[in-house]
Amino acid sequence: MSKRKYDVSVIYKKFGIYLVLLALLVISSIISPVFLSKANIMNLLTQISVVTIISCGITMLIIENMTDLSGGSVVALTGCLCVGTYKMLIGWGCNIIVAGVICMGTAMVCGFSLNLLSGMVITHYRAPAFIVTLAMSQMARGLVYLYTGGQPIYGIEEIAIIGQGKIGNILPFSVIIMIVIVSITWVVLNKTRFGRYVYAIGGNREAAVASGVNVNRTVLKTYMLHGIFVGIAGVLYMTRINSGQPAEGVNLEFDAITAAIIGGTSFSGGIGTVQGTICGSIIIGVIKNILNLLSVQSYYQQIITGMIIVIAVILDIKTKMSGK
Amino acid sequence: MKGITKKVCCVMMGILLGVTILTGCGKQPVASPKTENGKKETVEQKQGEGPKKVAFICKSYTDTFCVWVKDEIEKKSAEYKDEFSLDCLDSKNTSSTQIEQIENCVAGGYDVIIFQQVDAEAPVQAVKEAAAKGIKVIVTTGSINDDGISTYIDADPIQQGTVLAEYAVKKFPEKANVAILQGPAGNFHANGRQEGFKKVLSDKAITIVAEEIGEWQKDKAMTIVQNWLVAYPDLNVIMAHNDDMALGATEAIKMAGKEGQIQVYGVDATAAGCQALEAGKIGATVFQNAIDYAHLALKYASDYLKGQEIKSVRIDSELVTPDNVKDYIEIHKKLGNIK
C-alpha cells in the first residue's frame, strides 16, 4: 500500500464513523423530544465515561496488536479498594480531602501494578495478551471478593462526589475526567515519540524492531498507562453508584473493545484513533440511552444494539473500501 | 527451541491458572463404584459408619442474601458438629457449575445435599440421580420442578410482591405513574415478585409507564432510572424487585435533584435497604428471613439423618415499613452487617 492511499483510507475511515454517529443523533432527536435536553446529554456522557476511559487504553493496546480482557474485573477491584480505603481512613479520623487523594492514589497504583504484571508476563515470555489478561481478570475478581468478603461496601458518603458531583450543577466531574483522559491519549498517540512507536509496533513489529524501537518497553509502558486509566475508571464506577460492589463491572472490557472496533481500530494492528473510539463509545451509549428513553423492552434492546453495531461496522468498512 | 518451550510453558500455566480459578472450590470428585451392587454397598457402608457429611451449595458468594444464608448455616452448623460435618461450595450463579457440584457431592459420599437453586429446571436430573443413590436433597431459597423428589424451604415470591404492593398502593400519590425495575429474565423470584406487583396494581387500575430489566444490579438500575427521569417527567413511583436496584434508583433521583418527589420500593430488606428505609429514601421493603432458612435447613438435615420425615414448606416474608424498620436494623446489627 502506498503512503498516499494509506492516508486516503484513514480519512475515509474517520468520516465513515462520524456520519454513522451523526445519523444516529439526528434520528434519536427526531424520535425522542427529550433526547437533546441538557439533562439527557449530561446523563449520556456520565453513563459512557467509565467505558470511554477504559477504551482509551484499550485502543492503544489494540493498535499495538495487544489486548486487555481484565478491564472489568480490575475496575471492580480498584473501585472497591478506593471506597474501602476511603472508609477506613475516615474511620481513623483522617481529613476528607487527604483521604480522598490517598484512596484515589491507591486505586491508580493497584490498576497500574496489575497491568504492569500482565505486561511483564506478556513481554518477557512473549505470551499471548489474550490469555494473560484473561487470567488477570480471574485473579482480580478473586482479589476483590477476598478484599470485600463478597459483600458490598456501603456508607462511603463524601467520596461519592467524584462520581456524582457536578461543577456549577451542570458539568459532572466524571465527564471532565473523561475529557482529560481522552486528551492525554490523543496527545500521547499523536504528539509523542512513544505514540509513533505504538503505531509502528502494530503496523509491523519486525520493522519496528529493526529500526531500533524497544518493543517490550513500549508495550510495557502502554500497559502501565492503561492501568492508571483503569484505576481511575474504577474510582468513577464505584463512586457513581455510591458503594463498592464487588460483583459489578462484568464485561466492561468488551464494551470498551467494541467501542474501539466500531471507531475503526483494526484488530490486525497499526490502525486506530482515539477520536474514532470516542465516536464508537458515544454510538453504543446513544443506542442504549435512546432505547431506554423509548422504553423498548429489554429483550429487543439487546437485539437492536447488536444489529446497530454490526451495521455501523459494515458502513465503516464500506466507506473505507470506497476510498481505495 | 528454548524460546518455544518457554512460551508453551507460559501458555499452559496461564490456562492451568484460569481453569483452577474457574473451578475454584470445586471438590475433587471421588470415583464412584461402577456396579449397581457396588453403589448400594458404598451407600450402606458410609451410612453405617464414619461421620455423616452434609454439603451446602450456595447459589453465589456474591449475592448478598445468599451469602448471608451461607454465613448463618456455617455459624449454626457448630451446634450440629456431633451429628454431621458441613462443607460449603459456590455455584457462581451458573447452572452448569451447580450441576457438576451436585454430581461431585454424590460421588464424594455426602449424605445430605442442601442447595440454593440457580435455575428451577437445570439441576433436576442431577437431583434425581442423587435421590436414586439414597442421598437427600434439600432446596432452600427456591424450589425445583422435580415432582417432589427434593424437599424445599422457600419463600413465596408472589406473596413478597403482593404484600409490598398492597402496602405501597395505600401510600401512592393521587395520580400514580409507576415504573418497575425487574430482576433477570426467567428468574423464579423476579417472575413471582412481578406477578405479585402486577396483580395488585392492575386490581387498582394503576398505570405502569415503564418496565426494564436491571439484572438485580445497582449500576444498571441507576442508568435506567436516569433515563426514565428524563423520558417521564410525571414518574412518581419506582418499584424494584430487589433493594440493590431500589438503591440505584435513589442514587439517580438524588443526582437529578428530585429527592422526595418519587417513591421507591424494594424487596429483600438488606442492611443497606433498611438504612435507606430509615433515612426515608425508600418507602418499604420485604424481609426474607435468612436466619429461618439457614436454621430450618440444618434442622431438616439433622432430622433426616435421624430418620424423621421432613416436609416442604413456604416461609412467609415480612413487610418492613418505617414503623418497624428499627427491629430489622437491630437484626442486621446483631449479624454484624451494620457496625
Question: Per-residue pLDDT for B29 more than 50?
Answer: no
A246 shares contact with chain B (CB less than 8 Å): yes
Question: Per-residue pLDDT for B34 more than 80?
Answer: no
* Claim to verify: residue B100 and residue B177 sit in the same structural domain: no
* Claim to verify: residue B261 and residue B311 sit in the same structural domain: no
* Claim to verify: residue B89 and residue B40 sit in the same structural domain: yes
> How do beta strands B136-140 and B313-315 pair?
unpaired
Q: Which domain holds residue A248?
A: 49-270
The torsion angle over the Cα atoms of residues B257, B261, B266 and B269, rounded to 10 degrees, is 80
Is there a domain that residue A225 lies in? yes
B240 three-state secondary structure: strand
A127 shares contact with chain B (CB less than 8 Å): yes
Partners of residue B25 in chain A, C-beta under 8 Å = none
Minimal-distance CA residue of chain B relative to A290: B227
Is there a domain that residue B43 lies in? yes
C-alpha–C-alpha distance, residues B328 and B339, integer Å: 14
C-alpha–C-alpha distance, residues B311 and A107, integer Å: 50
What are the counts of helices (DSSP H) followed by strands (DSSP E) for chain B? 12, 12
Chain B: closest CA distance from residue A188 (Å): 31
Amino acid at A65: N
Burial of A48 (0-12, 13-18, 19+ CB in 10 A): buried
* Claim to verify: residue B211 and residue B328 sit in the same structural domain: yes
* Claim to verify: residue B279 and residue B177 sit in the same structural domain: yes
Query: CB B18 to CB A135 under 8 A?
Result: yes
Residue ranges of chain A whose pLDDT lies below 70 = 1-14, 316, 319-324
Query: CB B222 to CB A34 under 8 A?
Result: no
Is there a domain that residue B208 lies in? yes
Mean pLDDT of B304-313: 91
Query: CB A150 to CB B62 under 8 A?
Result: yes
* Claim to verify: residue B162 and residue B271 sit in the same structural domain: yes
Angle between helices A193-203 and A215-240 in degrees, nearest 10: 110
Is there a domain that residue A192 lies in? yes
Instruction: Note the pLDDT of residue B328.
Output: 92
Of B62, B251, B271, the CB nearest to A246: B62
Instruction: Note the pLDDT of residue A11.
Output: 57
C-alpha–C-alpha distance, residues A264 and A54, integer Å: 16
A295 shares contact with chain B (CB less than 8 Å): yes
Q: Which residues contact B272 (CB under 8 A, 6 or more apart)?
A: A152, A154, A243, B243, B244, B247
Q: Specify the number of domains making up chain A.
A: 1
C-alpha–C-alpha distance, residues A177 and A158, integer Å: 18
Amino acid at B80: Y
Instruction: Kindly report the number of other CB atoms within 10 A of residue A55's CB atom.
Output: 35
Please report, for the domain that includes residue B233, its CATH number.
3.40.50.2300
Question: Per-residue pLDDT for B245 more than 60?
Answer: yes
Minimal-distance CA residue of chain A relative to B212: A298
B136 three-state secondary structure: strand
**Which of the residues B2, B8, B10, B182 would you substitute to probe the A interface, choosing the one with the greatest number of A C-beta atoms within 10 Å?**
B10
A147 shares contact with chain B (CB less than 8 Å): no
Is there a domain that residue B2 lies in? no
Instruction: Note the pLDDT of residue A182.
Output: 97
Is there a domain that residue B258 lies in? yes
For residues A251-262, one letter each, b for 16 or more C-beta atoms within 10 angstroms of the residue's C-beta and e for the rest, the string is: ebbebbbbbbbb
| β partners of residue A167 | A171
> How do beta strands B318-320 and B285-287 pair?
antiparallel
* Claim to verify: residue B68 and residue B165 sit in the same structural domain: no
Q: Specify the number of domains making up chain B.
A: 2
ipTM of the complex: 0.76
pLDDT in tens, B273-300: 999 999 999 999 999 888 889 999 999 9
Among A148-152, B37-41, B77-81, B231-235, which is the least confidently predicted range?
B37-41
Is there a domain that residue B13 lies in? no
Mean pLDDT of B253-268: 93
**Beta strand residue intervals within chain A, DSSP E:** 166-167, 171-172
Is there a domain that residue B91 lies in? yes
Minimal-distance CA residue of chain A relative to B221: A241
A213 vs B120, more confident: A213
Question: Which sign, positive or negative, has the C-alpha torsion B114, B118, B123, B124?
Answer: positive
Chain A: closest CA distance from residue B249 (Å): 10
Instruction: Note the pLDDT of residue A99.
Output: 94
**Which of the residues B255, B282, B339 would you substitute to probe the A interface, choosing the one with the greatest number of A C-beta atoms within 10 Å?**
B255
Instruction: Note the pLDDT of residue A12.
Output: 56
C-alpha cell belonging to residue B65: 442474601
Where does the pLDDT of residue B45 fall: very low under 50, low under 70, confident under 90, or very high at 90 and above? very low
Is there a domain that residue B48 lies in? yes
C-alpha–C-alpha distance, residues B226 and B230, integer Å: 7
**Which of the residues A125, A153, A166 would you substitute to probe the B interface, choosing the one with the greatest number of B C-beta atoms within 10 Å?**
A125
Where does the pLDDT of residue B198 fall: very low under 50, low under 70, confident under 90, or very high at 90 and above? very high
Instruction: Note the pLDDT of residue A308.
Output: 80
Please tell me what DSSP assigns to residue A168.
T
For residues A168-207, one letter each, b for 16 or more C-beta atoms within 10 angstroms of the residue's C-beta and e for the rest, the string is: eeeebbbbebbeebbeebbebbeeeebbebbbbbbbebee
Of B7, B11, B222, the CB nearest to A241: B222
Q: Which domain holds residue B77?
A: 33-154+290-315
Instruction: Kindly report the number of other CB atoms within 10 A of residue B258's CB atom.
Output: 14
Instruction: Note the pLDDT of residue B86.
Output: 93
* Claim to verify: residue B198 and residue B54 sit in the same structural domain: no
Is there a domain that residue A9 lies in? no
Instruction: Note the pLDDT of residue B43.
Output: 42
Q: What is the 3-state secondary structure (H, E, C) of A259-288?
A: HHHHCCCCCCCCCCCHHHHHHHHHHHHHHH
Is there a domain that residue B54 lies in? yes
Question: Per-residue pLDDT for B41 more than 50?
Answer: no
Is there a domain that residue A143 lies in? yes
| β partners of residue B180 | B211, B239
Instruction: Note the pLDDT of residue B27.
Output: 38
Is there a domain that residue A317 lies in? no
Query: CB A241 to CB B226 under 8 A?
Result: no
Chain B: closest CA distance from residue A123 (Å): 11
* Claim to verify: residue B331 and residue B212 sit in the same structural domain: yes
| β partners of residue B212 | B181
Amino acid at A34: V
Is there a domain that residue A323 lies in? no
Instruction: Note the pLDDT of residue A119.
Output: 96
A242 shares contact with chain B (CB less than 8 Å): yes
Chain A: closest CA distance from residue B77 (Å): 20
> How do beta strands A166-167 and A171-172 pair?
antiparallel
Size of the A and B interface in Cβ pairs below 8 Å: 112
**Residue B205 phi/psi, 5° resolution?**
55, 45
A91 shares contact with chain B (CB less than 8 Å): no
Of B61, B64, B210, the CB nearest to A145: B61
Chain A: closest CA distance from residue B248 (Å): 7
A293 shares contact with chain B (CB less than 8 Å): yes
C-alpha cell belonging to residue B210: 415503564
